[in-house]
A and B are shown apart, each in its own frame.
Chain A
C-alpha cells in the first residue's frame, strides 16, 4: 500500500469509525474486524484504537465496560449527541469532497 493511499485511509478513519458505531453500540475488536474486512478501508487496530480514544476524549463517544465471553473486559462504544452531529458534518464534507473529485475525474480523458 503506497503512502498516499495509507494517508487517505487514515484521513477517513474517524468518519469510518463513527459510521460503524452509529449502526450499533459495539466494542473495539468488533470495530477493527468490520473495518479490516472492507477492501477500500482496511483499517487495522493501530489506527482504530487511537482514533477511538481520541473520539472518546473529544466527547463524541461514550464508553461502558462489560465482561466478555472471552474473559477480559470489553469497552463498548456508542455515539453521543455530539458524535452524531459530528458524523453528520463529516459525512457532508466527505460527500462534497467525493462529489468534486468525481466531477474532476469524469473530465479526465481515459
Chain B
C-alpha cells in the first residue's frame, strides 16, 4: 500500500487555507485559552489536509482547496453562542473544566476602562475651559477652587482608565481607546503638576 504524501500546495492555495485558519483563530480569541485555540486550529488544519489528501494524486488544485474549505463549518460557527456560555455553568459533564466567568468580567472591566478613558480626556478639556473662564471671571474663588480640584480628580480617573483598559484590553476597541486616552490624561496631569511645582 502506497503512502500518500501531504498534498502539494501552491502558495496561493496555502494562502487560502491560512486565511481560513486565521479567521477561525480570531473567532476563538478571547473565548478559549491560547493553548486550546492553537489545538482547535491545528485540528482544523489537519482535517483540511485529510480532505485534500483524499484527492487523487499528490497535487491539490485551487478548486480542491476551495471545495475542502466549503465542506468545513464557517468560521462564525466557532463563536460560542449565549446558550453555550450559559450552559458552561451548568454543564452535564461536570468533571470537565468550565469556561471562566472572568472572561465576561474582563470584558466589562475593559468597557469601563474605555469609558473612563474618554471621560478623562474630556476632563482635560473641561479644565482648559475653566482656566479660560477664570481669566476674566467674577467668581474667581469658585473657579480657582475648581481649577485645583480638577487635576487630582483627572489624574485619578486617568489612572483608573488605564488600569481597567489594560485589564480588559483583549475585549475590543473601547479598552484600547481607554489605554490611549488614559495614558494621555496621566501624562497631561503629571506634566501640569511638574510645571506648577517648577513655576
Using a CB–CB distance below 8 Å, which chain A residues touch chain B?
7, 10-12, 14-15, 18, 27-29, 32, 44-47, 49-50, 52-60, 68-75, 82, 85-86, 89-90, 93
Contact = CB atoms under 8 A, between A and B. Distances in A.
Given A54-B36, A55-B96, A93-B92, A45 B47 contact: yes
A74 B87 CA distance: 30
Contacts of A15: 92-93
A17 B132 CA distance: 69
B13 interface: no
- Name the prevailing secondary structure of the B interface residues: helix
A72 B14 CA distance: 14
Nearest to A32: B47
Most chain B Cβ neighbours within 10 Å, of A12, A70, A89: A70
B148 interface: no
Interface of B: 3-7, 32-33, 35-36, 39-40, 42-47, 49-50, 52-53, 72-73, 77-78, 83-84, 87, 91-93, 95-97
A44 B73 contact: yes
A104 to B, nearest CB: 19
Most chain B Cβ neighbours within 10 Å, of A12, A54, A56: A54
B60 to A, nearest CB: 11
Contacts of A10: 83-84
Given A7-B83, A50-B78, A69-B53, A82 B95 contact: yes
A72 B36 contact: no
A54 B97 contact: yes
A54 B96 contact: yes
